[in-house]
Amino acid sequence: MIKIENYVVRAIDKNKSFRVFIAKTTEMVEKARKTHDLTPVAAAALGRTITAGAMMGIMQKNEKDEVSIVIKGDGPIGGITVVAKKNGNTKGYVGNPRIPIELNEAGKLDVGKAVGTGKLTVIRDYGLKEPYIGQSDLITGEIAEDLSNYYASSEQQPSAVALGVLVDKDLSIKASGGMIIQVLPNISEDDLGLLEHKISVMTPMSTLIEQGYTPEQILEGLFEDMGMELLEKVPVDYVCDCKRDRIEKALISVGKSELQDMIEKDHGAELTCHFCNEKYQFSESDLVEMINSL
């Protein structure tokens, strides 16, 4: 039996007044760190976004639906992109994976400073002609607050988001996890008050994961008095599904004159996948064929 290391649990309370997603993502964030050779602050920033993405991916309805989180701030990390699917496959990259370590006043990795101010965009691709796009301002650049603000301002969906990545002394990922709580319209004042109190006194997610708690145990510990029903448990992983034909499509989309340029100047083209760093080579004759197909 294959051991499921990372997964997301989805649960709802007995009054159907709020739903909860809890993720353990330590190994998948470590995979991302190794893939991109991330420094600790870059690993924390991408790790938090991947963790959120994995949960948001699972929220989607159809197997082929894809959700992207694109964070564009003016900080040195130069942007964060994460793409997640319903099946738990999640991938991402940052503009500058080697930004130096910076600590904030609390002695923690300063993700907010690395990200800076700017916009958070969520793109939901349902395989239709036009994807659904929502956008909001970055509040702190710490990702969790920014997503919570996004849900409130762009989707009118009150949500509490907690994300945490703990980097070990050897720079590997020690613990990573997250939680999204979404309040449903029929919630009572009492339940809402109780929920807000629980969130305000909650132990950080990365601490709980580091202490060895599973998502089920975290769910039980936090909401045991609210009658939670566990709806599903979905394995999540860092997976890039890039294929040559998709990279080829992207290359064709640059247009005839650009392709002609590549033939004349470089006698070919090499494209690198941003998500997994796989290199794809296209020869002069490949490019000629592309031009002829246009």
Q: How many residues line the site for Zn ion (CB under 5 A)?
A: 6
Task: Considering the complex, state which of residue 40 and residue 92 has its C-beta at the smaller distance from Zn ion.
Answer: 92
Task: Considering the complex, state which of residue 98 and residue 243 has its C-beta at the smaller distance from Zn ion.
Answer: 243
Stretch that binds Zn ion, among 93-101, 135-143, 164-172, 267-275 (CB under 5 A): 267-275
First-residue to last-residue Cα distance in the chain? 49
Q: How far is the CB of 158 from Zn ion (least distance, A)?
A: 35
Return the bridge partners of 21, or none. 10, 180
Q: How far is the CB of 237 from Zn ion (least distance, A)?
A: 14
Q: How far is the CB of 241 from Zn ion (least distance, A)?
A: 7
Q: How far is the CB of 240 from Zn ion (least distance, A)?
A: 3
Q: Would you give the distance in Å from CA 266 to the centre of its chain?
A: 35
Task: Considering the complex, state which of residue 269 and residue 273 has its C-beta at the smaller distance from Zn ion.
Answer: 273
Q: Which of 273, 282, 287, 290 binds Zn ion (CB under 5 A)?
A: 273
SS3 annotation, the chain: CCCCCCEEEEEEECCCCEEEEEEECHHHHHHHHHHHCCCHHHHHHHHHHHHHHHHHHHCCCCCCCEEEEEEEECCCCCCEEEEEECCCEEEEEECCCCCCCCECCCCCECHHHHHCCEEEEEEEECCCCCCEEEEEECCCCCCHHHHHHHHHHHCCCCEEEEEEEEECCCCCEEEEEEEEEEECCCCCHHHHHHHHHHHHCCCCHHHHHHCCCCHHHHHHHHHHHHCEEEEEEEECEECCCCCHHHHHHHHHCCCHHHHHHHHHHHCEEEEECCCCCCEEEEEHHHHHHHHHHC
Q: Which of residues 207-266 bind Zn ion (CB under 5 A)?
A: 240, 242
Task: Considering the complex, state which of residue 68 and residue 136 has its C-beta at the smaller distance from Zn ion.
Answer: 68
Task: Considering the complex, state which of residue 180 and residue 247 has its C-beta at the smaller distance from Zn ion.
Answer: 247
Q: Is 276 a binder of Zn ion (CB under 5 A)?
A: yes
Q: How far is the CB of 33 from Zn ion (least distance, A)?
A: 16
**Contact map string, positions 139 to 158, toward Zn ion, x by CB under 5 A:** --------------------
Q: How far is the CB of 276 from Zn ion (least distance, A)?
A: 3
Q: How far is the CB of 243 from Zn ion (least distance, A)?
A: 9
State whether the Cα torsion 183-188-192-194 is positive or negative: negative
Task: Considering the complex, state which of residue 21 and residue 93 has its C-beta at the smaller distance from Zn ion.
Answer: 93
Task: Considering the complex, state which of residue 200 and residue 253 has its C-beta at the smaller distance from Zn ion.
Answer: 253
Q: Which of 93, 213, 275, 282 binds Zn ion (CB under 5 A)?
A: 275
Q: By CB under 5 A, name the binding residues for Zn ion.
A: 240, 242, 273, 275-276, 278
